[in-house]
Amino acid sequence: MVYFCSQMTPFHPLNSPYPSPERFTYPFCYEPHPLCIAAADELKRHLATEPAIGTDARNGKMFGVLVVSDETGRRGFLAAYSGLLAGRNDWPYFVPPVFDAQQPDGYFKQKEREISRLAESGDAAHRSLSQSLQRWLFHQYRMLNALGEEKDLVEIWHDYHSERVRHQFPLPPGGSGDCCAPKLLQYAYRHRLHPLAMAEFWMGRSPRGEIRYEGQFYPACRGKCLPILTFMLRGLDVDPNPLALRTPLASLCIVYDEPAFAVVDKPAGLLSVPGKDQLPSVVSLLRERWPEAECIRPAHRLDMDTSGLLVVAKTEAAYAALQAQFVRHEVTKRYEALLTPSDEGRGTAGECNTTHLPKASQTIRLPLRPDPLDRPRQVVDWQHGKTAVTEYAFTDDNRVSLWPHTGRTHQLRVHCAHPEGLGRPIVGDALYGHSGDRLCLHAAELTLRHPADGHELHFVSPPPF
């Protein structure tokens, strides 16, 4: 039975004039529904009245809301937080964990203490025992979906991934099942509540290595939640992936063309190379344009949302010669970006270090690595990250030229947004800043040597923003 009268039960009434959405949220790319925004506002007000958990939330925590209806059609919302909050996973305002492994006298905690003692004594057996305990724990997480099916996390992991991935990673990542979205959906299914819309948002300070903004909504993480939510959303009418609905682009602007290679001006929203979703790409469009070419191979990459100059080889010999220049950092690339105004870019991700904007060229050095649980997001990691160096110079208060001296994934986007970089995300950067009509990052200039005779070539493309 679901009770509606107490604010200390997981179901919270939601009085809002907005109609319910026709389909459920696609959790990995979405704009929050107005009902979710209203629910998030209610949750924030609750956190402000609870000092014990509100203070810990200020240290940085992901929260989630799930708008639901009961069997009579009455709407309300459920709330959740990822992991632990103030050391607990059982605060009464929020949905409970899928499985409570935090009981001091429970099997998991007893075995965990035993394994810790073995590790401290130098007994190598603690490693295999730890993996066995982790497997046992994942078997306790028996997840539901809208069809009434039930599987544990190990089954879900193995069903989702290929044999190659399962061989390398036989178990899900630690903490799987404890993120907001799985907890919210599990409670709804258990209590016969119909999910209508869902959203997750960040509260408090940003971790040093990541870029999170107070009150901003974020997609579900892919490393932990993609396999789980793929299973849990079965039986719901879910919005399609917005990226798959983008209008295919019929043509590319060809800046330079000869038999060995070409330079194109890639629009924002177009992949450089084909991806898993079979979306149009520079390669697929150019194969149609030049079917007689020996090959169509970009010598470097631009992010899907980045526009600008891209070099594409049409012969294997040209590809080898061009890519070698990029590998040896002999190609000069200048990007132009439009940054959020300084008073908008700070948030709780850190203080902007460009209060007095420099006009002369300066350098950012922040090492980067992928976040394995939330690809393609990159994080700053001073211990394990790879060297990433960007030279920059402001042309006015909000526009900056960027010269990458290394080619790390999302390097320019992170170096602009991170508080130890410019502390100001690029306009339209939904991953490291705030969503917009487009990512205002453009590959504006390119200087390289001809792959055959070595003479210098210089190309320019004015930014479209």
- Catalytic residue annotation: 303
Q: What's the CA gap between 336 and 223, in Å, rounded? A: 32
End-to-end CA distance of the chain: 55
Amino acid sitting at position 404: P
Sign of the Cα pseudo-torsion (25, 27, 29, 32, in order) = positive
Q: What's the CA gap between 74 and 196, in Å, rounded? A: 12
User: Residue 413 has which token pair?
Assistant: 């986007």
Amino acid sitting at position 149: E
Amino acid sitting at position 226: L
Q: Which residues neighbour 49 within 8 Å (Cβ) at sequence distance 6 or greater? A: none
On the CB side of 125, how many CA atoms lie within 13 Å of its CA?
7
**Nearest to residue 209, comparing CAs of 435, 51, 449, 420?**
420
Using H for helix, E for strand and C for coil, what is the string for the chain? CCCCCCCCCCCEECCCCCCCCCCECCCCCCCCCHHHHHHHHHHHHHHHHCHHHHHHHCCCEEEEEEEEECCCCCEEEEEEECCCECCECCCCCCCCCCCCCCCCCCHHHHHHHHHHHHHHHCCCHHHHHHHHHHHHHHHHCEEECCCCCEEEHHHHHHHHCCHHHHHHCCCCCCCCCCCHHHHHHHHHHHCCCEEEEEEEEEECCCCCCCCCCCCCEECCCHHHHHHHHHHHCCCCCECCCHHHHCCCCCCCEEEEECCCEEEEEECCCCECCCCCCCCCEHHHHHHHHCCCCCCCEECCCCCCCCEEEEEEECCHHHHHHHHHHHHCCCCEEEEEEEECCHHHHCCCCCCCCCCCCCCCCEEEECCEEECCCCCCCEEECCCCCECCEEEEEECCCCEEEEEECCCCCCHHHHHHHCCCCCCCCECECCCCCCECCCCCEEEEEEEEECCCCCCEEEEECCCCC
